[in-house]
């Protein structure tokens, strides 16, 4: 199902935000004008990833600094100095229609 989640003007390059859609919390990010969407809660400890750091295509969790690739949701760095499991997150196709950011959930 395709959902309009934000306007492009609301999410400038280098920024990310959390959007609650259809019972899911998504992270939507703008990397140099390209938009990406993935699950927005860290797989390790339920942290809100939008409160972390966006470094290029990498999203860093604010709690134990796990890193995910915003392009495909893959875990690229495990949590630092923390026990427990972390795993890949799901990513979602994004299209832009005029000024609307649309995520296919």
Instruction: Tell me the residue number closest to ligand FES, measured at CB.
Output: 45
Strand runs (DSSP E) across 1-105, as ranges?
2-7, 16-21, 24-31, 34-39, 53-55, 58-60, 67-69, 75-77, 91-92, 94-97, 100-104
Residue placing its CB nearer to ligand FES in the complex, 6 or 64: 64
Catalog residues that contact ligand FES under the rule CB under 6 A.
42, 44-45, 47, 61, 63-64, 66, 79, 82
Nearer to ligand FES, 8 or 74 (CB): 74
Q: How far is the CB of 67 from ligand FES (least distance, A)?
A: 9
CB of 56 to ligand FES, least distance (A): 18
CB 5 within 8 A of CB 21: yes
């Amino acid at each position: 199902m395709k959902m309009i989640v934000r306007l492009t003007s609301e999410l400038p390059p280098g920024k990310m935000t959390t959007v609650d859609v259809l019972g899911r919390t998504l992270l939507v990010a703008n990397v140099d004008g390209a938009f990406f969407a993935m699950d927005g809660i860290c797989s390790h400890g339920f942290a809100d990833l939008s409160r972390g750091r966006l470094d290029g295509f990498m999203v860093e969790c604010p709690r134990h600094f796990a890193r995910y690739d915003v392009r495909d949701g893959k875990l690229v760095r495990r949590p630092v100095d923390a026990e427990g499991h972390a795993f890949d997150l799901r990513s979602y196709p994004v299209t832009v229609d005029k000024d609307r950011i649309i995520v296919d959930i």
